[in-house]
Structure 1
Amino acid sequence: MSQHSVFISYRRSDSTGEAGRLSDSLEALLGTACVFRDADGIAPGDDFEAALELELAATSAVLVLIGKRWAPELAARQARSEPDYVRREVATALRLGKRVIPVLLNGAELPRVDDLPADLRALVRHQAVSVRDEAWNVDAGRLADAIGRPYSWRKVGLRAALVVPLILIATWYGVPYLAPSTSDQLALARGLVLVLLLAYAGGECWLRWREVHRRA
């Protein structure tokens, strides 16, 4: 089963360029394996409908990209009784209780509830996020924060690689001044290293706690 956490729903006639750009931005902010877009995520020969159903079932957030042609295209397909995969994606996400985020592109607005079919009317109750071309990086960053960025364990590793040697070096050179007696130095060094490591670990826990509560 897919491990993507973000599903991008978009109309090719409305926001193909923005969908690709947003996918690239979110992959840079959230991780390459986190984002699903049908143009990249469905292999040639796969059952398109089945693949979409699997992705929607596994994902945690569905971004509904809405440009100025999104609602007119929906109405036109309804009038012609044509299949509408975007409508199916959004309706399925709503039915499954997924976190659905309408993404309004370049000044587009949410459609009116009376203009939506019954299976999509819940969409207007979900808080929307605007993404503007002139402020793309800022808006994409806000969207990534709303989804929830993964904690940077790589930064934790880099900090540990820097801090732990500094603790050992400081202990090595500092203990002789604190405990002139040779018999006391080893015990003091062990205690000092333990205290400093616990303080460092506490700092990392506090940073993690602050990050989690900042997103809440």
Structure 2
Amino acid sequence: MANPVFISYRRSDTTGEAGRLADSLENLLGAACVFRDADDIPAGEDFAVFLQRELAGTEVAVVLIGKKWLAELNSRLNKPEPDFVRIEIATALKLGKRVIPVLLQGAELPSAASLPDDLRALVNRQAINLRDEAWTADAGRLADAIGRPYAWRLLALRAAIFVVVVVIATKYAIGTLAPNADNQLELARGVIVSLLALFAGVEGFLWWKRKKRVA
């Protein structure tokens, strides 16, 4: 079964960073959401066929580009052996997948003229820098760009706490403001509506902040 995020990297260029990034993204996005060939191709599978199938079902392809990436690409252009990294990226672009170049080791995005035709669309994709000295923050920005899953468990927890607060606040308001009055129902309704509006406002603000951070 395909994973939402596909990490494309050259072993001669960014092997260590690929493993570190896979761990970071799994912590930020959830377990079993990241594909990396070193860990995720079962024994006995045809490498090329499995990669094609995985890319067809993926949502985002993350292309790691270090200082040796372009030189390695150029060195493989005239070799008979297939360049699987090139095949990965070209396939993702051809399938219309979302492709995010991630620049490592201070590398820059190659120019279109330096790339073969099937990879030139890569330079039109917005790149993200992943710096060793700011790994946590940069990995977080990448996770936001990919799209973190909504924290439904936290929302459920906040909703449960809100229900408790509503009950306590309603009982307190009735007991303090209208212990013997006939309008207790209206008072309770007013308290509940006010707290619901407050809850909706807070959740709306949190959603807006999350969307702004992703954008």
Shared fold by TM > 0.5?
A: yes
Rounded to whole Å, the distance in 2 between the matches of 1:52 and 1:97 is 16
C-alpha change, 1:95 and 1:12, in structure 2 (3 Å) is same
Deviations 1:82-135 (A, max 9, x none): 211100000011111111111111111222322221111111222211112122
- Superposed displacement of residue 183, structure 1: 4.2
Contact 2:144 2:213 (8 Å CA) reproduced? no
Q: Which amino acid aligns with 1:174?
A: A
Q: Which amino acid aligns with 2:173?
A: G
Give 1:175's aligned residue: 174
Give 2:83's aligned residue: 84
Structure 2 SS opposite 1:80: coil
Contact 1:176 1:185 (8 Å CA) reproduced? no
2:146 is the alignment partner of 1:155: no
Structure 2 SS opposite 1:32: coil
Give 2:132's aligned residue: 133
Give 2:10's aligned residue: 11
Rounded to whole Å, the distance in 2 between the matches of 1:79 and 1:196 is 68
Give 1:114's aligned residue: 113
Rounded to whole Å, the distance in 1 between the matches of 2:204 and 2:32 is 26
Give 1:103's aligned residue: 102
Q: 1:31-110 counterparts in 2 under 5 A?
A: 31-110=30-109
Contact 2:24 2:139 (8 Å CA) reproduced? yes
Rounded to whole Å, the distance in 1 between the matches of 2:193 and 2:137 is 42
Rounded to whole Å, the distance in 1 between the matches of 2:167 and 2:46 is 58
Deviates more, 1:177-186 or 1:90-99: 177-186
Count of residues in correspondence between the two structures: 215
Structure 1 SS opposite 2:32: helix
Q: For structure 1, list consecutive stretches of 5 or more residues without a partner in the other structure.
A: none
Detail structure 1 runs of 4+ shifted over 4 Å in the superposition. Answer: none
Structure 2 SS opposite 1:111: coil
Query: Please, what TM-score do these two structures have when normalized by structure 1?
Result: 0.89
- Superposed displacement of residue 192, structure 1: 2.6
Contact 1:164 1:197 (8 Å CA) reproduced? no
Q: For structure 2, list consecutive stretches of 5 or more residues without a partner in the other structure.
A: none
Deviations 1:138-193 (A, max 9, x none): 21112112222222222212222322212211211221222132543345334533
Give 1:185's aligned residue: 184
- Superposed displacement of residue 17, structure 1: 0.7
Rounded to whole Å, the distance in 2 between the matches of 1:134 and 1:202 is 37
Deviates more, 1:116-125 or 1:204-213: 204-213
Identity %: 61
- Superposed displacement of residue 24, structure 1: 0.7
- Superposed displacement of residue 70, structure 1: 1.2
Rounded to whole Å, the distance in 1 between the matches of 2:63 and 2:119 is 11
Q: Which amino acid aligns with 1:173?
A: Y
- Superposed displacement of residue 52, structure 1: 1.3
